[in-house]
Amino acid sequence: MLQVPDKIQTWQMVQPTSKDKETGEVKPGRLEKTSIPVPTLAADEVLVKVAGCGVCHTDLGYFYDGVPTVQKPPLTLGHEISGTVVAGDEKWMGKEVIIPAVMPCRKCLLCKTGRGNRCLVQKMPGNSLGVYGGFSSHIPVPSIDLCEVRNRGNIPLEHLAVVADAATTPYQAAKRADLQPGDNVIIIGVTGGVGVYMAQTVKALGAKAVIGIARNPAKLQRALQYGADFVISSQDKQIKDIRNEFRDICKKNGLEAGFGWKIFEVTGIKAGQDMALELLSFTGKLIVVGFGMAKNEYMLSRLMAFDADILGTWGCLPEYYPIVLNMVLSKKIDIGPFTETRPMSQIASVFDEVHKAGSPEKRIVLTPDF
């Protein structure tokens, strides 16, 4: 029996991040448990009962760093959502779904030319979908973009929330890179929340050699079981040492070191980006997947001399979600070891924990317990 609630229970960010003009001190936002009315659903909308919503660094950017949300607070954060349709469009009733993190308008020129993942009027829960976000009991969303979950076996629906963002962003990045079977790949930040899926994705798509770079040696060992063929620890090393290790790996394994590598920079931090720029070589491609505020110095003319590319990538087209979901359900991409759930009532302490940890052990998915 599907229960349609009277109210949506939610953890709202009621106050935006503020910066003290004199001291420059940033005060994070404030969370408050509250309830809001269930809106009247349009014909093409449904109400989804949230099973889980992942905590993403983008949420923390809004909460701690003053990155502005399109919808001004109060609003509910959270854009990595799975759940069950409980009201609205009849043909979706009772279905388990993943809600894409960004939902394109499908009308503009970008949408019509295949660039809908970067549609300028796209809707994102917890940012630009009115006051609605995933850290709630329910959320109203357009039905056209939903990805239906079928035959999920023993994978909990709440774990599949990570498909909404962490596991789909790498697929879009691989498409953007025009990744082909037999391509050689470097992933900088291979042990992070998106990096672990980047490696599994490129391997599943037929990459030949995948070299993972990150700091933590123990996590790098784990990466070898999940998509990476070789790993390099960047801990306490100069860029030139890392480049030499890369060349050694190529030499020992009969790989061409000098050209053609596709490099995915997932960290968004300056050290990772500088490394990516250093490793970019003839006919190579650098795909910028991570976000940070750093500025880098680079001789752009190298791109000319190398006949190389630097590309950005954003979100993921809803059309790709069923493909990624299939890769997850068929265990080509394993999410279990990288996901853990916590009750949503712990949201404040989880935000704090993830914010302090920088790169936590596992993606934390909050499950509603209102």
Binding positions for Zn ion, rule: CB under 5 A:
56, 58, 104-105, 108, 111, 119, 165
Residue 123 vs 285, nearer CB to Zn ion? 123
Minimum distance from residue 232 beta carbon to Zn ion (Å)? 27
Minimum distance from residue 306 beta carbon to Zn ion (Å)? 32
Q: In the block, which residue shows the tokens 């190529």? A: 250
Minimum distance from residue 101 beta carbon to Zn ion (Å)? 6
Minimum distance from residue 106 beta carbon to Zn ion (Å)? 6
Residue 89 vs 165, nearer CB to Zn ion? 165
Euclidean distance between CA atoms 50 and 339, whole angstroms:
17
Euclidean distance between CA atoms 29 and 86, whole angstroms:
31
- Cis omega (within 30 of 0) on the bond before 217? no
Strands 7-15, 75-76: pairing kind: antiparallel
Residue 36 vs 110, nearer CB to Zn ion? 110
Euclidean distance between CA atoms 351 and 349, whole angstroms:
5
Q: How many CB atoms lie within 10 A of CB 236?
A: 7
Residue 108 vs 310, nearer CB to Zn ion? 108
Residue 58 vs 234, nearer CB to Zn ion? 58
Can you point out the beta strands (E) in the chain? Answer: 7-15, 18-19, 26-27, 30-37, 45-54, 75-76, 81-88, 96-99, 138-142, 147-148, 185-188, 210-214, 230-233, 262-265, 285-288, 309-312, 339-343, 363-367
Residues composing the chain = 370
Euclidean distance between CA atoms 185 and 178, whole angstroms:
12
Residue 108 vs 157, nearer CB to Zn ion? 108
Euclidean distance between CA atoms 97 and 219, whole angstroms:
31
Residue 145 vs 165, nearer CB to Zn ion? 165
Residue 307 vs 340, nearer CB to Zn ion? 340
Minimum distance from residue 69 beta carbon to Zn ion (Å)? 13
Minimum distance from residue 56 beta carbon to Zn ion (Å)? 3
Minimum distance from residue 359 beta carbon to Zn ion (Å)? 14
Minimum distance from residue 159 beta carbon to Zn ion (Å)? 16
Q: In the block, which residue shows the tokens 């949503």? A: 344
Please provide residue 79's backbone torsions phi and psi, each rounded to the nearest 5 degrees: -135, 10
Query: Vertex 246, ends 240 and 252: CA angle to 5°?
Result: 135
Minimum distance from residue 53 beta carbon to Zn ion (Å)? 11
Residue 55 vs 220, nearer CB to Zn ion? 55
Q: Which amino acid is at 215?
A: R
Minimum distance from residue 283 beta carbon to Zn ion (Å)? 31
Residue 362, judged by CB atoms within 10 A of its CB (0-12, 13-18, 19+), counts as: middle
| Sign of the Cα pseudo-torsion (341, 346, 348, 353, in order) | negative
24: phi > 0 → left, psi -120 to 50 → alpha, else beta; which?
left
Residue 111 vs 275, nearer CB to Zn ion? 111
